[in-house]
Amino acid sequence: MAASAARGAVVLRTNIGRPVAFVRKIPWTAASSELREHFAQFGHVRKCTVPFDKETGFHKGMGWIHFSSEEELHNALQQENHIIDGVKLHVQPQKPKALQGDQTSDEEKDF
């Protein structure tokens, strides 16, 4: 029991946030390649998804840009206006998928 508790504590220590930007209000005229093109100015875009609705043939105006580093994501977020086809996008960091605890009892951790 104690062992498993310790294990739980150890494995959770490295909690990484993945550098993903969540983009909303994408105009219907733009798709993933346009987004990729736009965001390439901030760094290497590892993956870019704009899911299309197979029922309508349109996308739902949302997409995800996976950068390869936090820094690149940061660069993208720093820019105030992201405009594609004359439409301003809403760009925000992707919310962590699950509850993210404070980095606390990290005695053994190498900063």
Partner 1 sequence: MAALLRPARWLLRAAAAPYLPLSLRLLAGGPGRPDAAVCLRAARARPVAGGLLSQARLHSIAAEKKNYLQEEPTSSHRRNASQFDWALMRLDNSVRRTGRIPKTLLQKVFDNTCHSGSPGGNQALLLLRSCGSLLPELKLSERTEFAHKIWDELQKLGTVYDVSHYNALLKVYLQNDHKFSPTDFLARMEKGNIQPNRVTYQRLIAAYCNMGDIEGASTILGFMKTKDLPVTEAVFSALVTGHARSGDMENAENILTVMKEAGIEPGPDTYLALLNAYAEKGDIDHVKQTLEKVEKSDLYLMDRDLLQIILSFSKAGYPQYVPEILEKITYERRYIPDTMNLILLLVTEKLEDTALQILLACPISRESSQNDFGSFFLRHCVTMNTPAEKLKDYCKKLKEAQLHTSPLQFTLQCALVAQKLDLAKVLMKALKEEGFPIRTHYFWPLLVGHQKEKNVQGIVEVLKGMHEIGVTPDQETYVNYVFPCFDSIKSVRAVLQENGCPHDDNVFSQAELRSKAVNGNLDYILSFLESNTLPFSFSSLRGSLILDCVCSNLLLLLQCTHFLSYQITELLYKDGRYCQEPPGPTEAVGYFLYNLIDSMSDSEVQAKEERLRQYFHQLKEMNVKIPENIYRGIRNLLDSYHVPELIKDVNILVEREKTDSRKPSSSDLESKLEKLKAENQPIGDILKQLIVMLCSEENMQKALELKAKYESDMVVGGYAALINLCCRHDNAEDALNLKREFDRLDSSAVLDTGKYVRLVKVLGKHGKLQDAINILKEMKEKDVPVKDATVLSFFHILNGAALRGETETVKQLHEAIVTLGLAKPSTALSSPLVTLYLEKDDLPAALESTIDCYEKYKILPRIHDVLCKLIEKGETELIQKAMDFVSQEQGEMTMLYDLFFAFLQTGNYKEAKKIIETPGIRARPTRLQWFCDRCIANNQVETLEKLVELTQKLFECDRDQLYYSLLKLYKVNDDWQKADAVWNKMQEENIIPREKTLRLLAEILRNNNQEVPFDVPELWYEEEKDCPTSLPSPVEVNLQQGLLNACHRRRNKAVSRSIFCSNIFNIRTVVFIISPWCSTIYYRIRSIAETHIKGFTLNDAANSLLIITQVRRDYLKDALTTLKTALDLDQIPSRLAVTRLIQACALKGDTESIHDIQKLVNGLEDSIGLSRMVFINNIALAQIKNNNIDVAIESIENMLTSENQTVDPQYFGLAYLFRKVIEGQLEPALKKISIMAERLANQFAVYKPVTDLFLQLVDSGKVNDARALLQRCGAIAEQMPILLVFCIRNCQRPGKAPVMKSLLELIPELIDKEEAYTCLMKSYVFDNDVTSAKALYESLTAKNVKLNDLFLKRYAVLLKNAGESVPFTEPPESFEFYAKQLKESKETHL
Task: Note the residues at the interface with partner 1 (CB under 8 A).
Answer: 1, 4-9, 11-12, 14-18, 27-31, 34, 52, 54-59, 70, 85-88, 95-111
CA distances, 89 to each of 28, 46, 92, 100 (Å): 12, 20, 10, 27
Cβ neighbour number for residue 59 with a 10 Å cutoff: 18
Nearer to partner 1, 25 or 41 (CB): 25
Determine whether 87 is exposed, middle or buried from the number of CB atoms within 10 Å of its CB (0-12, 13-18, 19+).
Answer: middle
Which CB sits closer to partner 1, 56 or 80? Answer: 56
How near is the Cβ of 19 to partner 1 at its closest, in Å? Answer: 11
We find the least distance from the C-beta atom of residue 61 to partner 1, in angstroms, to be 12
